[in-house]
Structure 1
Amino acid sequence: MKEQLPPKYMQLKEEILTWITAEQFKPHDKLPSENEIAATFSLSRQTVRQALGELEAEGWLYRSQGKGTFVADAGSAAAGKHPAQQGLTIGLMTTHISDYIFPTIVRGVESALRLHGARLLLASTDNEKNKERESLESMLQQQPSGLIIEPTKSAEGNPNLDYYLSLESRGIPFVMLNERYSDLDAPCLKVDDELGGFRAAEHLIRLGHRRIAGFFKTDDFQGIYRMRGFLRALREHQLTLRSEHLVRYTTEEKLVKPAAELSALLGQAAGERPTAIVCYNDELAVKLLDVVRGKGLTVPEDLSMVGFDDATLATATEVKLTTLEHPKTRMGEDAVKLLIRLLGQGGSRKPEADIIYEPRLIVRESTAPDGEEIKN
């Protein structure tokens, strides 16, 4: 069956919204006349008038008698109001919604918003930059009061800066989860990932391990900082890291490269292969457990493993993972509190400090003293 297109006035309305959200037309800019729009899109003036009328009713546009139709200043209407005086709509954009630790973060956001009677808009970027752009555009068209955003591949730059600047120009505050883009100064809620990487490696060093490998996803700053902490621990304890013991990979490589690299390392002689590994997160650690089993080895007898985030996966397998804690629910709740505080400031934006959580090491069954060191 052929897909039915929306009415022509709705298609035009979406197009004009795109002009506004992408700042092709900024607040108080004059739009083309009804006749000009009608000619451009081969539409009747009635269709154009209907689209403009709805956008005016929704607060996107305003008319000036004898002068034309202009883009409204979205921030000015909300600037003088406290959040309690208006119905709040908060957007939450994460790289994933239903996977890994993200459902727990979403529940934290939802529970905090419920206290304010706020509506929640959800969007997932699937960790793709183009989908982040689509999500930002969609969110802007729904006129949210504020946004909570997890950046997509934060270490690979911010091609969507124009949309973030549009948020600022329209007076829509936003906070960032887990990390921020380097070209933005929005407040951020994040774990001290460098400290977490340091504690993971140091835990293994204190258990006597000397050949420790690290597996880190480096297209986001979380992975880079975790790797940085891992390397700092080795340096401070004067341990030499072999180049093949540091495995870096991207999101696109995560299903293949880490497993292949670990398989190669575990194929080495017993006196050469690593006795312990630090993983970017628990999801990776669980995947690498299968590689260890496939080599006829066991955790932690032959290989100790440390994950990160204390996801439900960490205790879902027969080997319970030693890991670093991530404050998932609390982070979601704190993000809402911070955003409400920003909304309460109205038009004057006071700088807000980042909220940084200290990662707690949770020791379980996947780490043990190095058997080689005990023998020696």
Structure 2
Amino acid sequence: MNRNELSKHVVLSHWIKDNIINGTFQVGEKIPSENELAARFSYSRQTVRQAIGNLVAEGILIREQGSGTYVSNTNKKAPSEKTMRVGVITTYLDDYIFPSIIHGIEEVLTDNGYTMTLGITHNKPSDEENCLLQMMQSGVDGLIVEGTKSALPNANSRLYGQLKEHNIPTVFINGYYNNYSNSYIVMDDIKAGSMVTDILIENGHTNIGGIFKSDDIQGLRRYEGLQNSLKMNKLPLLDKSILWYTTEDYYYFFEGSMDTIILERFEDVTAVVCYNDQIAAALIKLLKRNSKSVPEDISIVSFDNSFLAKHMVFNLTSVVYPSKKVGKRGAGLLLQCMNNPFLTEQIVLEPTIKIRESVKKINE
């Protein structure tokens, strides 16, 4: 099967799943035949057979010899039947701050008799769609979600709407989608952005640059905090020295080929606000291979206070992100929402900063 055929059978699988979730194809009901689906989508019989075969393997459909293919009755739970399972969807799992978040969630859920089903999106809307569909098919009592590309229009708003229709509460962590009313727990990223910028200004820095993430809402808010601090202190916003990147850009930004461009963009600044510790660490490495050091040549502040910030090579002044606390409180909030379907609560945590040695005082 060629790549085009492969993508077609994935599209068809999603279409069938969507129609099961929205009730078009009911449990125990026969779905259209292979011939009908092939004609409807102008796909080959082989492609249709592959799509159906995958859904049979997942337990979503069941074939009956000589009769047809039916929606399996193992997909759906009765409205009042609890699964004692909670779905947790995050962008990443096994590095940076995510293990602490997951550990906090798991601790609270286990104490309350729930198991956890994990889904990883890699910050891709298509992966988020797959995770949501799988959670809805397998049956969960609620979801904890770190949104994917949360600064952009929500590509999966229809599925989130279906979750509401099925009374499956969702709690967002780290960020949330605009124009979507749900419970969430986040840090005050705008205030955090102002606080780290204030530290630079207090140490005599007046020409301040930044590197921010444009496809996640935290990036926009941390940038807004930088703006607010500069405005309050009557300092200029140096547009040339504000760099933006997306999830897909990260590797290309720092693998070496863009060093000259980045250094030129920062040639007029004495300090840089970095979106997170990963970006700060990557920038420090870039500076080092170009014979510049932190904080002697340039000061750096960042966010998350991760293991990278604490590493003696980087020693970053960084906003403390209480990752385990976010996980625990997010799970606790979801339990409340599952007990009270009318509850919607937004929790915004106050930021704190861990001061280390990445900022040089220049006003003496």
* TM-score between the two structures when normalised by the length of structure 2: 0.82
C-alpha RMSD over aligned residues: 3.0
2:310 corresponds to which residue?
A: 315
Deviation for aligned residue 1:108: 0.8
Q: 1:282 aligns with which of 262, 277, 280?
A: 277
Indicate conservation of the 8 Å contact 2:21/2:137, yes or no: no
Conserved in 1, the CA contact under 8 Å of 2:29 and 2:70? no
Q: In terms of mean alpha carbon deviation, does 292-301 or 144-153 score higher? A: 292-301
Q: Could you say if the C-alpha distance between residues 322 and 15 of structure 1 is closer, same or farther in structure 2, counting changes exceeding 3 Å?
A: closer
Following superposition of structure 1 onto structure 2, how do residues 151-162 of structure 1 map, counting pairs within 5 Å?
Answer: 151-162=147-158
Question: What residue number does 2:117 align with?
Answer: 121
1:295, distance to aligned residue in structure 2 (A): 2.6
Question: Partners of 2:187 and 2:201 in 1: how far apart?
Answer: 22
Q: Percent identity?
A: 29
1:264 aligns to 2:264 (yes or no): yes
Q: How does 1:1-376 map to 2 (within 5 A)?
A: 22-23=18-19, 26-27=22-23, 34=30, 37=33, 40=36, 46-47=64-65, 52=70, 55-56=72-73, 58=74, 60=76, 76-78=79-81, 86-257=82-253, 260=259, 261-265=261-265, 268=267, 273-345=268-340, 349-370=341-362, 373-374=363-364
- Per the TM alignment, residue 333 of structure 1 is displaced from its structure 2 partner at its CA by 0.6
Cα distance change on mapping 1:24 and 1:88 into 2, 3 Å: closer
SS in 1 for 2:133: helix
Mapped partners of 2:253, 2:348: distance in 1: 31
Does structure 2 retain, via aligned residues, the 8 Å contact 1:177–1:188? yes
Aligned to 2:55: none
Residue-by-residue CA offset, 1:341-362 (whole Å, 9 max, x unaligned): 11112xxx22322111111011
Larger radius of gyration: 1
| Residues in 1 aligned to 2:79 and 2:13: alpha-carbon distance in whole angstroms | 18
Do 2:30 and 2:69's aligned partners in 1 also have CA atoms closer than 8 Å? Answer: no
CA deviations over 1:46-76 (Å, ceiling 9, x no partner): 34879748x32x363xxxxxxxxxxxxx573
- SS in structure 1 at match of 2:251: coil
Name the CA distance, whole Å, in 2 between partners of 1:319 and 1:356.
Answer: 29
Residues of 1 paired with 2:11 and 2:206: CA distance?
60
1: CA distance, partners of 2:264 / 2:104: 41
Structure 2 Cα separation of the partners of residues 31 and 240 of structure 1: 62
**Secondary structure, in 3 states, of the residue corresponding to 1:342?**
helix
Deviation at 1:37, TM superposition (A): 4.7
Cα displacement string for residues 77-116 of structure 1 (whole angstroms, at most 9, x for unaligned residues): 24xxxxxxx4510111111111211111111111111101
Distance 1:329 1:49, change over 3 A: farther
Letter in 1 for 2:226: F
Judging changes above 3 Å, is the alpha-carbon distance between structure 1 residues 142 and 227 closer, same or farther for their aligned structure 2 residues? Answer: same
1:66 alignment partner in structure 2? none
The normalised TM-score by structure 1 is 0.79
CA spacing shift, 1:49–1:325, aligned 2, 3 Å? farther
Q: Distance in 1 between matches of 2:121 and 2:269?
A: 36
Unaligned runs of 5+ in 2: 2-9, 37-47, 53-61
Judged with a 3 Å threshold, the aligned counterparts in structure 2 of structure 1 residues 117 and 51 are, in CA distance, closer, same or farther, namely farther
